[in-house]
A and B are shown apart, each in its own frame.
Chain A
Amino acid sequence: MFGYLQVQKSELLVRELEAYKAVYCGLCKQMGRDYSFLTRFSLSYDCTFYAMLLMSLDRSCTGFKDGRCTCNPIKKCKYALSDSDSYHKAAAFSVISVYYKLKDDISDGKFFKKLACRMLMPLFSHWRKNAAKKYSDIDKFAEQMMDMQYEAEHCNESSIDMSAHPTAFMIANLFSLEAKNETEKRIYYEFGYHMGRWIYLIDAADDITKDIKNNNFNPFVNRRTGEIKSGEYISSVLNQSLARAYEAYNLIDIVDFKGILDNMILLGFPNVQNKVTDKINTEANNEKSL
Chain B
Amino acid sequence: MKNPYEILGVSENATDEEIKTAYRNLAKKYHPDNYTDSPLVDIAEEKMKEINAAYDEINQMRNKGRGSGSNNSSYNSAGYGSTSSSQFYNVRIYIQRNMIDQAEQILDTTPQGNRTAEWFYLKGMCAFRKGWNEQAFNNFTTACNMDPNNAEYRAALNNMQNQRTYNYGGYNQSNPNIGGYNCSCCDICAGMMCADCLCDCCRVGC
Q: How far is B194's CA from A271's CA once the two chains are assembled, in angstroms?
A: 12
CB distance from A240 to the nearest CB of B (A): 4
Q: How far is B38's CA from A193's CA once the two chains are assembled, in angstroms?
A: 13
A239-B167, A240-B163 are contacts. A250–B29 as well, Cβ < 8 Å? yes
CB distance from B135 to the nearest CB of A (A): 5
> Beta-carbon contacts of B155-166 to A below 8 Å, as 1s and 0s?
000001011111
> Beta-carbon contacts of B176-203 to A below 8 Å, as 1s and 0s?
0000000000100100110010000000
A236-B164, A270-B170 are contacts. A168–B189 as well, Cβ < 8 Å? no
> Beta-carbon contacts of A174-192 to B below 8 Å, as 1s and 0s?
0000000001001100100
A10 at the interface (CB under 8 A from B): yes
A197-B131, A239-B163, A270-B167 are contacts. A251–B40 as well, Cβ < 8 Å? yes
Q: Are A247 and B34 in contact (CB under 8 A)?
A: yes
- For chain A, residues 224 to 277, give those with C-beta under 8 angstroms from any C-beta of chain B: 235-237, 239-244, 246-248, 250-251, 265-271, 273-274
- Complex interface: chain B residues within 8 A of A250 (CB): 29-30, 34
Q: Are A251 and B44 in contact (CB under 8 A)?
A: yes
- In the complex, the number of residue pairs spanning A and B with C-beta atoms less than 8 Å apart equals 97
Main secondary structure of the interface of B (DSSP, over half): helix
B24 at the interface (CB under 8 A from A): no
A160 at the interface (CB under 8 A from B): yes
Main secondary structure of the interface of A (DSSP, over half): helix
- Complex interface: chain A residues within 8 A of B132 (CB): 161, 165
> Beta-carbon contacts of A205-228 to B below 8 Å, as 1s and 0s?
000000000000000000000000
Greatest chain A CB density within 10 A among B44, B131, B163 is at: B131
Greatest chain B CB density within 10 A among A161, A193, A197 is at: A161
Q: Are B38 and A161 in contact (CB under 8 A)?
A: no
A194 at the interface (CB under 8 A from B): yes
CB distance from B32 to the nearest CB of A (A): 11
Q: Are B193 and A267 in contact (CB under 8 A)?
A: yes
CB distance from A120 to the nearest CB of B (A): 33
Q: Are A237 and B133 in contact (CB under 8 A)?
A: yes
B94 at the interface (CB under 8 A from A): no
Q: How far is B127's CA from A243's CA once the two chains are assembled, in angstroms?
A: 16
Number of interface residues of B (CB under 8 A): 34
Q: Are B163 and A160 in contact (CB under 8 A)?
A: no
Taking a contact as CB atoms closer than 8 A, the residue among A194, A236, A237, A246 that contacts B168 in the complex is A246
Closest to A169 in B: B131
- Complex interface: chain A residues within 8 A of B40 (CB): 186-187, 190, 247-248, 251
CB distance from A125 to the nearest CB of B (A): 32
CB distance from A196 to the nearest CB of B (A): 9
Q: Are B127 and A271 in contact (CB under 8 A)?
A: no
Q: Are A194 and B169 in contact (CB under 8 A)?
A: no
Q: How far is B189's CA from A268's CA once the two chains are assembled, in angstroms?
A: 12
A8 at the interface (CB under 8 A from B): yes
Greatest chain B CB density within 10 A among A193, A267, A273 is at: A267
B43 at the interface (CB under 8 A from A): yes
Q: How far is B132's CA from A159's CA once the two chains are assembled, in angstroms?
A: 10
> Beta-carbon contacts of B27-43 to A below 8 Å, as 1s and 0s?
00110001100111001
Greatest chain A CB density within 10 A among B162, B164, B192, B196 is at: B164
- For chain A, residues 13 to 55, give those with C-beta under 8 angstroms from any C-beta of chain B: none
Q: Are A159 and B193 in contact (CB under 8 A)?
A: no
Taking a contact as CB atoms closer than 8 A, the residue among B30, B46, B131, B192 that contacts A194 in the complex is B131
A-B contact pairs, 16 of them (CB 8 A): A10-B196, A239-B163, A239-B164, A239-B166, A240-B133, A240-B163, A247-B34, A251-B43, A266-B169, A266-B189, A267-B168, A267-B169, A268-B169, A270-B168, A270-B169, A274-B171
Which residues on A are within 8 Å of B, measured CB to CB? 8, 10-11, 159-161, 165, 168, 183, 186-187, 190, 193-194, 197, 235-237, 239-244, 246-248, 250-251, 265-271, 273-274
Which residues on B are within 8 Å of A, measured CB to CB? 29-30, 34-35, 38-40, 43-44, 46-47, 127, 131-135, 160, 162-172, 186, 189, 192-193, 196
